[in-house]
Amino acid sequence: MLPNILIVEDDADIAESLHYNFKREGFRPSIAESGEKGLRIALDENTTPSLIILDLMLPGMSGMELCRRLRREPLTEKTPIIMLTAKAADSERISGLDSGADDYVVKPFSVKEVIARVRAVLRRAEKEETARYEDRQLSIDFRDMRVKCGDTDVRLTRKEFALLEHLVKNIGRVATRQQLLDNVWGHSYFGDSRTLDVHIRRLRQKMGDCAQQIETVVGVGYRFISSN
């Protein structure tokens, strides 16, 4: 089945251009001119999208608010979201990622770049369905919580494993510090954020030669990369 792409964009020229090019590339696109309409389409079981292109600046319900709403709904909590923004400031990108977006594209953009980002995010989403991860030196069984770096078993605490799992299942994507705290410690956690750094440091120490696969993105968070 062809992937459904929901384009939530109030600029008619941009929306129509994306719609035309997605259709030409073999996707099934649809357009919502407002956040409220986008929410209705996304939460309709008959029209639930495979991926959502979401403009940040929308009339009424903002793209940021819509993204948070979608992440609270069971039907769309894992639906990939790529945010479009005219603002290139780091704070806007971080806010978009913290609200639940999987990726972002800054306007003005190339339609080819957006399509390439969509394909990449959809591939990542497919990989997240698997119960295992394996590359040239690291192997993980998510169900049994087993980790091996080369031939060496890596023994992790539950928090350390949860951190690694979140990073690996979002391979190549930056996980902000707030996202990691929310996903591993919970939204109700209000402790010292340095706790995250301590756990990342211990995780790296235990992973040995595989530690270099966890990259620090200065001022934002962390990212996992494959060794292949």
pLDDT in tens, 50-68: 999 999 889 889 999 999 9
Tell how strand 138-141 and strand 146-149 pair up.
antiparallel
- 4-127: what fold? Rossmann fold (3.40.50)
Sign for the CA dihedral angle at 125, 127, 130, 132 comes to negative
- 132-224: what fold? Arc Repressor Mutant, subunit A (1.10.10)
> Could you tell me where in the chain the CATH 3.40.50.2300 domains are found?
4-127
pLDDT of residue 31: 96
Kindly tell me the burial class for residue 144, based on how many C-beta atoms sit within 10 Å of its own C-beta (0-12, 13-18, 19 or more). exposed
How far is the CA of 4 from the CAs of 40, 70, 82, 118, 210, in angstroms?
15, 16, 14, 11, 37
What radius of gyration, in Å, describes the C-alpha atoms of the chain?
18
pLDDT of residue 154: 96
Give exposure, 65-92, as e/b (b: 16+ Cβ within 10 Å): ebbebbeeeeebeebbbbbbbeeeeeeb
pLDDT of residue 25: 93
Q: Are 92 and 56 in contact (CB under 8 A)?
A: yes
Cβ within 8 Å of residue 60, ≥6 positions away? 34, 35, 36
pLDDT of residue 188: 57
For residues 185 and 43, what is the distance between their CA atoms, to the nearest angstrom?
A: 28
78-123 pLDDT tens trace: 899 999 887 665 666 677 777 788 888 888 888 998 999 899 888 8
Cβ within 8 Å of residue 175, ≥6 positions away? 166, 167, 221, 222, 223
pLDDT of residue 178: 86
Q: What are phi and psi of 72, to 5 degrees?
A: -90, -10
pLDDT of residue 210: 96
Amino acid at 212: Q
> Could you tell me where in the chain the CATH 1.10.10.10 domains are found?
132-224
Through-space distance between the first and last CA atoms of the chain, rounded to whole angstroms: 30
- Which mean pLDDT values do the consecutive 10-residue runs of the chain (228 residues) have? 89 95 94 95 88 91 92 86 77 73 86 90 73 90 90 93 91 88 73 84 95 93 89
DSSP bridge pairs for 147: 140, 154
pLDDT of residue 103: 86
Is the backbone peptide bond immediately before 3 cis, with ω within 30 degrees of 0? no
